[in-house]
């Protein structure tokens, strides 16, 4: 786990309520790099997400680097937390990540609606597929 992921996890563990965690999720959205307007195209839209999510994979070797954004603020925060956990990992390290466990560690799994969980899973599966090529 990267130092930023460890720091993020510590912040969530220190929360005493869902309201505190929710605020941290929304604040996490600001951790994402700016997503270029030129990449907000149908070619970069992630299929299977209720809200619009754009994904642009910058590289997969030697490590995963990608840009992501969503029009939905809460989903953007959840995607930012995924980004904190996996961006910069090697393809082999990415294959070993248990994303559901990450959200459980953050104390968020009970609050994920099925549609949000499916959207996060879809994004993660696309990243895994690209890392194998």
Q: What is the pLDDT of residues 32-89, one digit of tens each?
A: 999 999 999 999 999 988 899 999 988 877 888 899 999 999 999 999 999 999 988 8
Residues counted in the chain = 133
Q: How far, in Å, CA of 38 to CA of 20, rounded?
A: 35
At 64 the pLDDT is 84
Share of the chain above pLDDT 70, in %: 98
Inter-residue long-range contacts of 100-104, CB under 8 Å, 24+ positions, other chains counted: 103/78
The full set of domains in the chain, from first to last, is: 3-131 (3.90.1010.10)
At 2 the pLDDT is 87
Share of the chain above pLDDT 90, in %: 70
80-129 pLDDT, tens digit each = 999 999 988 888 899 999 999 999 999 998 888 888 899 999 999 999 88
The two tokens of residue 121 are 């899973």
Q: How far, in Å, CA of 61 to CA of 89, rounded?
A: 9
Q: Alpha helices of the chain — where are they, by DSSP H?
A: 3-13, 18-28, 73-86, 91-95, 99-105, 114-131
- For 23, phi then psi, to 5°, come to -60, -40
Check whether 17 has a pLDDT greater than 90.
Answer: yes
Owner of token pair 């990540």: 97
Query: Using an 8 Å Cβ cutoff, are 85 and 97 in contact?
Result: yes
Listed residue (84, 83, 69) closest to 39, CA to CA: 69
65-70 and 53-59 beta bridge pairing: antiparallel
Query: Using an 8 Å Cβ cutoff, are 32 and 83 in contact?
Result: yes
At 7 the pLDDT is 96
Using 50, 70 and 90 to split pLDDT, how confident is the model at 132?
A: confident
Q: How far, in Å, CA of 7 to CA of 31, rounded?
A: 13
């Amino acid at each position: 786990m990267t130092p930023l992921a460890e720091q993020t996890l510590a912040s969530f563990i220190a929360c005493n309520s869902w309201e505190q965690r929710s605020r941290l999720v929304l604040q996490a959205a600001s951790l994402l790099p700016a997503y270029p307007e030129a990449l907000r195209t149908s070619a970069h839209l992630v299929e299977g997400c209720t809200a619009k999510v754009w994904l642009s994979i910058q590289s997969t070797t030697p490590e995963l680097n990608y840009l992501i954004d969503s029009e939905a603020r809460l989903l953007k925060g959840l995607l930012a937390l995924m980004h904190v956990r996996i961006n910069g990992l090697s393809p082999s390290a990415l294959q070993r990540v248990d994303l559901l466990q990450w959200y459980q560690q953050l104390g968020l799994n009970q609050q994920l609606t099925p549609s949000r969980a499916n959207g996060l899973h879809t994004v993660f599966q696309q990243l895994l597929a690209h890392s194998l090529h």
